Structure 1
């Protein structure tokens, strides 16, 4: 018997904050929720998000941060929120909730990550559709929307998406060790999608990874912040 989507997403949310998607039916009456599709058609909220990230980073750095750096980091944060829940749902329960461009909703938050909400009564999708959902319905429109606002490399942004997939896989393996190998297999299938293929390579695993460790072929530009350095999977890292 298939586990109800509401139960699946409630369990997934326990993995960590980046995996949380609300399902309270009462939220459907709130007009501030907007479908994922709107991120591509209305540049206002995404532009405001990039500007917010830029202000925060500039305050921390004590000087103005490049807009393309802020855009890259803003996208990476959004991508991590958007790809984690569907990956975890398939890995932990073999269920793929409808978290596509029309079903998944976001709401602007001025103080933290945008909350996400989905209607749990929508039929679940075939779990085999996970790579297409992540790459085509979530990542591709998001990358296009950011690039329409800020001149930042598509290679950088797709690398950020891939890094988010690998990061979700790592968290799953840490928080739910019994699902670590399934997480590696599911994340590998996502990274093999044509839109993500070539963004990096899967190397022999190093702790805390299981199955493989991801090494991207691009950089999120975080190193351009004062004292920023490089991430563990960065092409510029010597690790």
Structure 2
């Protein structure tokens, strides 16, 4: 049974709701309201369609529009961004605190309480996320040292759960360029949130984020200004198109901001749906 429990480190909850998580015993029974996140990537399962439909209705309601007025691919992209932000943020929080998961995580490991409007409840296997002793973990771990460096965490996550979510959302006519851009935005958003909550951890948070962003899957999804390290994605999550006439606000990290020449909404890239 999944039991509400504290995250492996009390600091994680202080980083904000997207970094916080509960834990469950590996292989324990699944009980309501908990569901496996892997259900979203099972072909033929209605869970993913229901999630996208719920986000579509929520986006439409924000503007007093009927759900069908919002393009399905817009809702799918926003739903995807919210999900990957929720998966990536705890991992980046653990990396920032040097409490790396002891093994790769799969979508089947992750349990969620489906809800809209922010960070839904998330539970991770206790055995997998019990931190390795901080003194034994370094961001630049040498090969054969017996520890899992952040680069390994990035590879495990991006080639595992995150890639599964990208593949699940691609059939909604959302380009993979946009979907992987959502992932990069989620990484930057997590680091930004951690830095805002704990300025003293800005360096390890940004170092961990940079390791993720240098992964081959994300390398061409964004631009980092060499002078101020400002993050700009090379695609758009499409949320602005939910507004009548496609006149909605742009996110702060959006590539389209340069064309509009104005400020956008928060650039934390959490999706929030």
Which residue of 2 is the match for residue 209 of structure 1? none
Q: Map residues 1-239 of structure 1 onto 2, 5 A cutoff.
A: 8-23=8-23, 25=25, 28-32=28-32, 33-42=34-43, 43-63=45-65, 64-96=69-101, 98=103, 99-109=105-115, 113-122=119-128, 126-128=148-150, 129-148=152-171, 150-204=172-226, 212-226=229-243, 227-238=247-258
Distance in 2 separating the partners of 1:162 and 1:217: 10
TM-score by length of 1: 0.85
Moved over 6 A (4+): none
Distance in 2 separating the partners of 1:123 and 1:95: 7
Q: Deviations over 1:10-68 (max 9, x none)?
A: 43122111112101559944434343333211532121111001011112223311111
TM-score by length of 2: 0.75
Shift of 1:154: 1.1
Retained in 2: the 8 A contact 1:23–1:119? yes
Shift of 1:111: 6.9
Distance in 2 separating the partners of 1:109 and 1:7: 20
Shift of 1:178: 1.3
Pick the structure with more helix per residue: 1
Q: Deviations over 1:95-126 (max 9, x none)?
A: 23554333222233367643211121237682
Given the superposition, is the C-alpha separation of residues 107 and 165 from structure 1 closer, same or farther in structure 2, using an over 3 Å criterion? same
Q: Is the partner of 1:93 in helix, strand or coil? A: coil
Retained in 2: the 8 A contact 1:9–1:21? no
Q: Is the partner of 1:18 in helix, strand or coil? A: coil
Distance in 2 separating the partners of 1:8 and 1:91: 13
Given the superposition, is the C-alpha separation of residues 233 and 168 from structure 1 closer, same or farther in structure 2, using an over 3 Å criterion? same
Retained in 2: the 8 A contact 1:96–1:127? no
Shift of 1:127: 3.5
- Tell me the number of residue pairs that the alignment of Structure 1 and Structure 2 aligns: 229
Max radius of gyration: which structure? 2
Q: Is the partner of 1:48 in helix, strand or coil? A: helix
Shift of 1:187: 0.6
Task: List runs of 5+ in structure 1 lacking aligned partners.
Answer: 207-211
Retained in 1: the 8 A contact 2:239–2:248? yes
Distance in 2 separating the partners of 1:60 and 1:143: 26
